[in-house]
Amino acid sequence: MIECYRSDAIKRMNRPSRLALAVSKLENGKYNVITLGWFMHTSFEPPMFAISVAQKRYSYELLSKNRKFVLSIPSTKMGRQVMKCGVISGRNLDKISEYNIKTQMGKLSDIPLLKDAVVNFECKTISQIRSGDHTIFIGEVKYSWQNEDENLKQLLVIPENENYKVLIKNGRYIFGTVGK
Ligand SMILES: Cc1cc2nc3c(=O)[nH]c(=O)nc-3n(C[C@H](O)[C@H](O)[C@H](O)COP(=O)(O)O)c2cc1C
């Protein structure tokens, strides 16, 4: 082992890494989508997921007010949408209509599922914990959904090498999938 900068170690740890989207509700009946790298499964019984959202994000305000969200795992059909939802704020833009994100009604609330995702989880927020400049929202899964297309591949943050297929690049982010 050689000591290194934390940023270099984190870069190495995260290639490849999974991505998620969280859909939250605006007061005007519209919805916002944020791209997340920081999310995890935290309990089997009851089933729970945690997502970590910076306090400066618009999604933080929405998640704090409306105690429900949809956690969505994007497919390779969603590369551009995931990139855009990860660099543009929904404060002044309706990302769902601007980026043509297909939705479908769920069962828990009026917050929609993302139709081109691999899976969607409808969550009820049961607690939140401040963690430095981010807040961890813990959601209990009430309903789970999977795409009818079983061959749909998951979108990943990937290293640029021959074992991964690059789908979209933007600055330091490269999204793609496993294999050619
Ligand atoms: C690959 C990737 C992963 C990201 N992961 C997170 C994350 O885990 N938490 C977070 O708060 N922001 C994360 N971001 C940044 C937000 O997605 C971005 O700031 C977004 O524009 C915020 O949207 P909003 O202001 O509409 O909520 C990530 C961005 C990218 C591209």
Q: Show me where the domains of the chain are located.
A: 16-152
- pLDDT in the model for residue 180: 67
User: What's the pLDDT at 29?
Assistant: 82
Contact 103, 81 (CB under 8 A): no
Residue scoring higher pLDDT (100 or 160): 100
CA of 86 to the centre of ligand 1 (A): 5
φ, ψ (nearest 5 deg) of residue 58: -60, -40
- Over residues 119-167, the pLDDT tens digits come to 999 999 999 999 999 999 999 999 999 999 999 999 999 988 778 899 9
126 pocket-lining for ligand 1 (C-beta < 6 Å): no
Whether 26 is in the pocket of ligand 1, judged by its Cβ within 6 Å, is no
Q: Taking 80 as the threshold, does the pLDDT of residue 81 lie above it?
A: yes
Q: What is the pTM of this model?
A: 0.96
Average pLDDT of 103-123?
A: 97
CATH of 16-152, one of 2.40.50.100, 1.10.3720.10, 2.30.110.10, 3.40.250.10: 2.30.110.10
Residues whose CB falls within 8 Å of the CB of residue 87, separated by 6 or more in sequence, listed in order: 170
